Chains A and B, each alone.
Chain A
C-alpha cells in the first residue's frame, strides 16, 4: 500500500516529468511571491524585497535542483541522459561503433547459430526416464579382444534371470526393416526393430496412445513362447505420417509385410526415439515383439549382433551389474557345452552406460566443436575489448576534463556503462537476428542436406550465455577506463598515455590472430583429410554405378534355389535394359559395416593361430567382381558354374592372402566358414582380388576379406542371408538416367518387391563420409568467422594508431619521408603483429591439434603444408587489413596533420 503509492510517485516523476516540473515551478513561484509580499508588508520596496527573497532562496535554480534530487528518480534520469549521450557519441564515431556491433553480431549470432546446430544434431538429451540407469549388456570373446560388444539373442534367456536382482528389467533389440504398404498400394521398407516385451520398461517410457499389450507382457515373461497375434508399437512420426495421426488407432490393424496385417497396440511419445537419430542413424519406426524361436535359440554362439539393454535395479551400481553379467557370461560355456566350443569356449561380459554408447562416438568431434565455439567467442571478446580500449584512450582528454569540472569516478563509470550498454544491446539484437537467420541459412548451405529434418532452433540458453559473456566483456572494458583514469589532470591533458594502452591492445590483437590461426589450422586439417578421403580408391569403381537392395522372401521364393534363380532372372532383365553394361549382386554392401565371420585355415598350413582368425564375408553372385571392377590379382573370379553341388570355392582379398595363406600361393589352398568342427564344407580358394574399403572410405587399415558364391550357400543356419541382395548396375552413361527404367523392371519382375536406396553409388559413398564433411563444414565456418574477426581487429588497431600518429606522420613527410616510406612504416607495424600472432598461434596449434587425430584421415596433425598455407593466408589477411589505413597514412598532408587537434 505504502510501497504502491511510492512507486506511483516515482513513475509519475519519470513519465509525467513535464507536469511534475510545471507543478514545481508553480509551487516555488507561489512561495517566492508570498515571501516577497511578506517583505514588502514589512516595509521594503519591491526591488529590495525581490533581492532579499532571492538571497533567502539561495538561488531559485539551486532550490529546484534540490527539489528534483529529492524525487528519488535522479539515477534513472541520469542513466537515460547517459544513454542519449552514448548514442550521440557512437553516431559521431560510426566506424568504431559498427565494428564493435559487428563483433557482437558475429560473436553472439554465428556462434549461437552453429552451436544450435551442434546441439540439435548431436547433444539432444536422451528421452528416457533416468537414462543414467540404463546400461548395455556387452559380451566378448577373450581371444578376439574387446570391441565385440552386444550378445547373441539366445543368451537373453540367461541374462533375464538377473531381472529383479541386478536389473529391474532387461530387453534385447535388433534393428530390422519392415515392409509396409502405402495407401496407394506401393510397398515401402521402413526401419524398425524387434524387441522383447520389457523394452519400454527398460527405457522407462509408456506409449502416449494405447498401452503395452498383453502379448508383450507374455513375451516379457517367456520370450521363447509363440505369440500368435502380431501387436506392434509404432513411433510417433510413423503414426502421424503413415497412419494419418488417427487418435483411435489403438486396436486397429494396419497392413504389414507383403500380405499380412498387424494390430497397432500403442504409439510412442513424440520425443522418444530408439536408437537416437543422427547422422547415419535412423530411429526405428515400428517395434515388433521378438519371439526367440527354436531357430534363434539354435544360433546361440553363432550370431553376436543383438543389443541387450537393462535398467539397473535400485541400489545396484554399474560395477555390481557388471559383476553379475560377467558371472552369467563365464558360466555360459559350461551350461551349454554343445554350443560354446573352441573359439567361444570362454565368454566374458560386463555392462556399460547406454549414454556412453550413444554419445561416445561423437564426443571427440563435439568437444572440438565446443572448443571452437569458445575460441570464436574469445576472439569476439578480445575484439570488443580492444576496440573499447582504443576508444577510451582517445577519450582520455575528455575524461580528464570531466573529472576536473567535478565529475566523480562513479559518475563517469555510470556514463561509460550506459554507453557500452547501447553497444551491447544493439549488438545483441543484431546478433540475435544474425543467429536466427544464420541457423536457417546454414541448414540450407550445408552441402548434404544432412540437417533437413532436424529441429534446428536457436537454443536460448546458448544465446543467453554467449550474449552474457560478450556483453560483460564489453561492459567491463568500457567502464574500466572511466574509473582508472588518473587524477593528474595536466599530464592527461598534455598527452594521452598511449604507449601503455597501445601495447596492451597489441597484445589483444596478437591473441586474436593466434586464435584465428589455431582455428584455421584445425579447419585446414579437416579439409585436407576430406580431400584425401574423396581421393581414396575404394578398390572398386563407383563411377556410373547404380545400386539398390531387394529381398527374395521365403513366402514367394520358398527354396534357396528359387531365391538364387530369382536373383539371376532379375539381373538378366536389368542387364537387358539399354545403357546397362553389367549387373550383379551381393549379400553385403561395401561402405556399410560388413558381416564378420570366424574361419578355419587349411590345417596343412600349420598349427591354428593363437587368435581366432576373423574376416569380412560377402556372399556374391557371378559377375560381381567384373561389375564392380574389382581387380583380380591371381586365379579366377566366380562364374555361373559355381553352384550348389559343384566344388565349394571361395575368393579372398590380397590382405588375407598375405596374412594367412602365403600371398599368391593362396590359390588352391582351403578354408572353412566357422570353427574346425563347423558343418560348413571346406572351400578351395580359386582367386585373389584387390582389397576393397569394405566398411566405407574412412577405413584406414585394409581388412581380411572372403567372398563365397551365394549359390553355394544352400545349407545351414546362414541360408537366409542370401535372400537379401544388394544389386550393382554398371551403366554406360549417367546412372541417374537409368533409375526409372530399373525401378520399372523390378516392379514388372515382382510387383510386391520393395526397393530400398535406388541411387548412384558415388552419392552413397559421399554419405558415408557425411559426418566428417559436416564437422569440416562447421569448423570451416568457425575459421571464417575467426579470420574476419581478426581482420577487423587488426584493421581497427592500425587505423586507430594511424589516426593517433597523424601529427608524427605529417612531420615525417614534411621533413622528407616519401609516401612509400610511410606506407611501409605502417605495414611493418601490421606485419609485426601478424608475425607475433602467427608464431604464438602455431605453437598453440602444435600443442592442440593432436586431439583432433580421430577426426583426421591420412593427415598428420602437424601437417606442414596446412600449417604453412594457413600461416601464409593469415599473413595475407593481416597485410590486407593493414593496407587501407597504411594508404591513408601515406597520403597524410603535413598541413592537415599540423592542424589536426
Chain B
C-alpha cells in the first residue's frame, strides 16, 4: 500500500461519496478535491492521488460527474470535475444510507 504522511485513509467505499460531496458546491480540479476533503475533515481523512483519479474515472463512467479542461484563476489549464444531476441524486442517496449506517453503528457502540 501507499505510504501516508498524515491522517488516515478514507473508509473503504466512502471515497465516492466524499468526492461527490466535495463537488456539490462548485466544480473543482483534482487537487482542489483532495484539499477540500482535507480541510473539511481537518486532516483526519486524506485522499491520495492514486485513489482519487481512478475514483474520478469511475464516477465519470457512471455518469455522476463530468470533466472539462478550463483555465484557473492563475491562468493555467486544469481539468475541472462537475457534479451532474444524476450525481446529485446519488449523493443524496449515499448520504442517506451513510447516516443510517452511522446511526446503526453508533447504536451498537453505545450498547455495552
A residues neighboring B (CB under 8 Å): 2, 5-6, 9, 23-24, 26-28, 30-31, 34-35, 38, 52, 55-59, 62-63, 66-67, 69-72
Contact = CB atoms under 8 A, between A and B. Distances in A.
A27 B54 contact: no
Contact of A58 (B3, B31, B54, B55): B3
Given A58-B50, A62-B50, A70 B76 contact: no
B2 interface: yes
Contact of A30 (B3, B4, B76): B76
A30 B5 CA distance: 20
B69 to A, nearest CB: 8
Interface stretch (B13-21, B57-65, B91-99, B104-112): B57-65
Interface in B49-105: 49-51, 53-55, 57-58, 60-63, 69, 76-79
A24 B53 CA distance: 9
B78 A72 contact: no
A70 B31 CA distance: 18
A62 B2 CA distance: 9
A506 to B, nearest CB: 51
Contacts of A72: 57, 61
Contacts of A69: 54
Nearest to B2: A58
Nearest to B79: A27
B79 to A, nearest CB: 5
A2 B76 CA distance: 31
A67 B54 contact: yes
A38 B36 CA distance: 13
B41 interface: no
Contacts of B31: 30-31, 34-35
Given A27-B29, A31-B34, A31-B49, 16 more contacts: A2-B63, A27-B79, A30-B31, A31-B29, A55-B5, A56-B48, A58-B2, A58-B50, A62-B50, A63-B53, A66-B51, A67-B54, A70-B54, A70-B57, A72-B57, A72-B61
B27 interface: no
Contacts of A55: 3, 5
Contacts of B55: 70
Contacts of A67: 53-54, 57
Contacts of A27: 29-30, 53, 78-79
A24 B67 CA distance: 12
A63 B79 contact: no
B63 A23 contact: no
B24 interface: no
22 contacts: A5-B63, A24-B53, A27-B79, A30-B30, A31-B29, A31-B31, A31-B49, A38-B35, A55-B5, A56-B5, A57-B2, A58-B48, A59-B2, A62-B50, A63-B50, A66-B51, A66-B53, A67-B57, A70-B55, A70-B58, A72-B57, A72-B61
A66 to B, nearest CB: 5
Contacts of B2: 57-59, 62
Contact of B49 (A5, A23, A52, A63): A63
A733 to B, nearest CB: 88
Instruction: Choose among A6, A56, A69 the residue with the greatest number of B CB atoms under 10 Å from its CB.
Output: A56
A29 to B, nearest CB: 10
Nearest to A5: B63
A52 B6 CA distance: 11
B70 to A, nearest CB: 12
A52 B4 CA distance: 10
A9 B35 CA distance: 27
Contacts of A66: 50-51, 53-54
Contacts of B57: 67, 70-72
B63 A30 contact: no
Given A9-B60, A58-B48, A26 B77 contact: yes
A6 B63 CA distance: 8
A159 B91 CA distance: 84
Contacts of B35: 34, 38
A177 B102 CA distance: 97
A70 B5 contact: no
Contacts of A31: 29-31, 34, 49
A686 B58 CA distance: 105
Contacts of A30: 29-31, 76-78
Contacts of B79: 23, 26-27
A58 B53 CA distance: 14
Contacts of A56: 4-5, 48-49
B77 to A, nearest CB: 7
A50 to B, nearest CB: 13
Nearest to A52: B5
Nearest to B62: A2
B93 to A, nearest CB: 16
Which 5 interchain pairs have the tightest Cβ spacing?
A58-B2, A70-B54, A70-B57, A34-B31, A31-B31
Contacts of A59: 2
